[in-house]
Amino acid sequence: MTSLLTTTTYWMLWGLFRGIGRLCFQLRLTGQENIPTQGRLVIAANHASILDIPFLGCGVARQLAFIGRHNLFPLPVVNSLVQRLGWIPIRQDGFDREGLRRAEASIAEGTAVVIFPEGARTETGALGEGKLGLAMLVARTKCLVVPAYISGTFEALPIGVRRVSFHPVRVIYGAPIDFSPDIERFSKKEFYRHVTDTVMASILALALTDLPPVVVPAAI
């Protein structure tokens, strides 16, 4: 159960990061009308920078929980605080049943959960291969999935860089995908692959809409 203090802190941080994003990173948010205001939901996005978390989150007008690696916040005090704010730690050294159960419970309670299907930040900025954790959540909760694409955060703060560059950032939220009609059509393994491939293709399609227009030289 989320306390009033935790909720207030969450929305204060939401406003802070939204302001920082607009002021310092020319943050643009597109497709917010695609995000359901209630109900079971997972938002699945590419992952290139630690900045993905606050900038994706501040574009969503409902409280979110974020799935992330268990050692992202090593200090016990900080670790406890961010878990109260909605961070769901997942161990990457094997199948984390407890972390998955916590994510399922959050979705069942109506909290939208953010997952980065690649499992870790990319070292090149390019979209990587999706893991099956997202598909497991979809199969168990029958939630909608909103694909999202984040651009600019890799240039602003890639892995291994400590100094932030104020590069423009854009977040694009795609149309929600309902996989519930497909559950009976596939075996479990096939369904997992179907969900993963479909969502990663949707994220890639959003990335292509973010490319600058091609300028064709005028004929002489």
Quick: pLDDT tens for 16-37. 999 999 999 999 999 999 999 9
Residues 165-200 have pLDDT tens digits of 999 999 999 999 999 999 999 999 999 999 999 999
Residue 216, domain member (yes or no): no
DSSP annotation of 177 reads E
Classify residue 177 as exposed, middle or buried by CB count within 10 Å of its CB (0-12, 13-18, 19+).
middle
Q: Residue 172's CB: how many other CB atoms inside 10 A?
A: 23
Under a CB-based contact definition with an 8 Å cutoff, are residues 125 and 48 in contact? yes
Q: Which residue has the tokens 């909290």?
A: 111
Residue 148, domain member (yes or no): yes
Under a CB-based contact definition with an 8 Å cutoff, are residues 194 and 182 in contact? yes
Residue 138, domain member (yes or no): yes
Residue 82, domain member (yes or no): yes
- For residue 49, what pLDDT is reported? 96
User: Which bin fits 101, alpha (ψ -120 to 50), beta or left (φ > 0)?
Assistant: alpha
Pairing assessment for the beta strands 64-69 and 87-90 based on DSSP bridges: parallel
Q: Which residue has the tokens 């109506």?
A: 110
Tell me: pLDDT of 138 over 90: yes
- For residue 96, what pLDDT is reported? 78
What's the CATH number where 87 sits? Answer: 3.40.1130.10
| Long-range contacts of the stretch 91-96 (C-beta < 8 A, 24+) | 92/119, 92/120, 96/70
Residue 219, domain member (yes or no): no
- For residue 1, what pLDDT is reported? 46
- For residue 220, what pLDDT is reported? 54
Under a CB-based contact definition with an 8 Å cutoff, are residues 116 and 94 in contact? no
Q: Enter the pTM of the model.
A: 0.92
Number of domains in the chain: 1
Tell me: pLDDT of 70 over 80: no
Residue 196, domain member (yes or no): yes
* Residues 6+ away with beta carbon under 8 Å from 21: 27, 54, 55, 58, 169
**Two tokens at 115?**
């997952």
Residue 51, domain member (yes or no): yes
**Two tokens at 98?**
């407890």
Residue 187, domain member (yes or no): yes
For residue 124, the enclosing domain spans: 4-209
CA neighbor of 203 nearest in space, from 113, 117, 107, 112: 117
